[in-house]
Amino acid sequence: MGREKLFNAAVLLVMLAVPLLAWQMDEPFIITLATKVAILALAGVGLNIALGLGGLVSLGHAAFFGIGGYAMGILASHAQNYEPLFAWPFLFEGSNQMPLIWLVAVLASAAAALVIGALSLRTSGVYFIMITLAFGQMLYYFAISWSAYGGEDGLSIWVRNEMPGVNTLDPIQFFAVAFVLLSLTLWFAARLAKSGFGLALSAARQSEERVETVGLAPFKLRLMAFVISGAITGLAGALFADLNRFVSPTMLSWHTSGEIMIFVILGGVGRLYGPVVGAAVYILLEHLLGGISEYWQIFLGLLLLGMVLFARGGLIGALLGREVAHD
């Protein structure tokens, strides 16, 4: 375990050092890339709680990512257009304050995860994969046909939302916000994995019968994990929409679900920092290969295929060996 902790600290340090260096050298684009990595890693950390800890292969996490994004888009667009969102029971004109937006994003995606999870967790295995995928698509088509908030074209906001004490328009300050949220979530995920709840969840992944025998309900454990997982991914969605000042149904599409899953897998399933490494490598590949060829996703596909067939522990597994790998 010692080596992995050291490695994790190094990852966090690099994540912090790169944008700081870019800030010194006045390269805002690199800071934005680093911010994107931090936000996507956050989405992956969310998925990893369901996938790595709970063994729940959800192919519908784009739903929560997108709900977070739309929470930002809807609140901010009402605030910028001075059209009240609702007038009863109190007048609410939307908001451009990040903390409130995050709260709404987390609550909305947790609620969606509760409903989707309660239905999907009635099944398991391949049914679960297909059903989470289908519910994700349901929200995708709903967003496309929901013309009040942009429909297929999506929804833009003019100015990035505000946060007390921070100038979010400054790339390095917005990066700091994303980085702090990522670090807090990583800390939370580590605590969660070691808690009684996390241990029971892991046990339910390994052997459902044994967990039932000691009087715990696997369904409840998994539903709780799914809700926490969805809420974190929703928070990442709100940040991602704020980074781009834009939200569209693409955030809800199943390709997004696949990508979030790729972050987790590239790094290593069940590894706390897997999604961080995975998201960083993914964005780096996108940036480097995308510069070489328009068809860079072919290479991504080949890489992913090779990884699944020959290097199942992900990058962290390849670097650190499999001693604490996901079983």
Partner 1 sequence: MMIVALTKERTPMSLILILEQVLNGLQFGVMLFLMAAGLTLVFGVMGLINLAHGALYMVGAFAAAAVAGWTGSFVLALMASLAAAAAAGALVEVTVIRRLYDRDHLDQVLATFALILIFSEGTRWLFGSFPLFLDVPSYLSGPVMLPGGIQYPLYRLAIIVIGLVVGAGLFWLIARTRIGVQIRAGEADREMIAALGVDISKLYTLVFALGAALAGLAGALVGAIQSVQVGMGEPVLILAFVVIVIGGIGSIKGALVGALLVGLTDTLGGVFLPRLFALLMEPASAASLGASLASMLIYILMAAVLLVRPSGLFGGSA
Site for partner 1 in 100-139 (CB under 8 A): 119, 122-123, 125-127, 129-131, 133-135, 137-138
By beta-carbon proximity to partner 1, the closer residue of 100 and 144 is: 144
User: For partner 1, which residue of 37, 59, 241, 281 counts as binding (CB under 8 A)?
Assistant: 59
Asked if 29 touches partner 1 (CB under 8 A), the answer is no
Asked if 148 touches partner 1 (CB under 8 A), the answer is yes
Q: From CA 14, how far away is CA 92, in angstroms rounded?
A: 42
Site for partner 1 in 225-244 (CB under 8 A): none
Give min distance, CB of 247 to partner 1, in A: 17
Q: From CA 302, how far away is CA 174, in angstroms rounded?
A: 34
Give min distance, CB of 102 to partner 1, in A: 27
By beta-carbon proximity to partner 1, the closer residue of 13 and 298 is: 298
Q: How many residues bind partner 1 (CB under 8 A)?
A: 43
Nearest to 77 by CA among 135, 153, 26, 14: 153
Q: From CA 117, how far away is CA 107, in angstroms rounded?
A: 15
Q: From CA 171, how far away is CA 231, in angstroms rounded?
A: 25
Asked if 84 touches partner 1 (CB under 8 A), the answer is no
The DSSP H or E segment spanning 155 is strand 155-156
Give min distance, CB of 298 to partner 1, in A: 4
By beta-carbon proximity to partner 1, the closer residue of 52 and 237 is: 52
Give min distance, CB of 238 to partner 1, in A: 23
Task: Show the tokens assigned to 275.
Answer: 């999604």
By beta-carbon proximity to partner 1, the closer residue of 239 and 266 is: 266
Nearest to 32 by CA among 157, 154, 168, 164: 168
Give min distance, CB of 266 to partner 1, in A: 10
Task: Show the tokens assigned to 57.
Answer: 């292969």
By beta-carbon proximity to partner 1, the closer residue of 99 and 306 is: 306
The identity of residue 131, as a single letter, is I
Q: How many residues does the chain have?
A: 327
Residues 6+ apart with CB under 8 A from 232: 42, 43, 45, 46, 49, 185
Residues 6+ apart with CB under 8 A from 91: 84
Site for partner 1 in 256-315 (CB under 8 A): 258, 261-262, 265, 269, 295-298, 300-302, 304-305, 307-309, 312
Task: Show the tokens assigned to 302.
Answer: 């080949």
Q: 3-state DSSP call for residue 157?
A: coil
Interacting residues with partner 1 (CB under 8 A) = 51, 57, 59, 119, 122-123, 125-127, 129-131, 133-135, 137-138, 141-142, 144-148, 254, 258, 261-262, 265, 269, 295-298, 300-302, 304-305, 307-309, 312
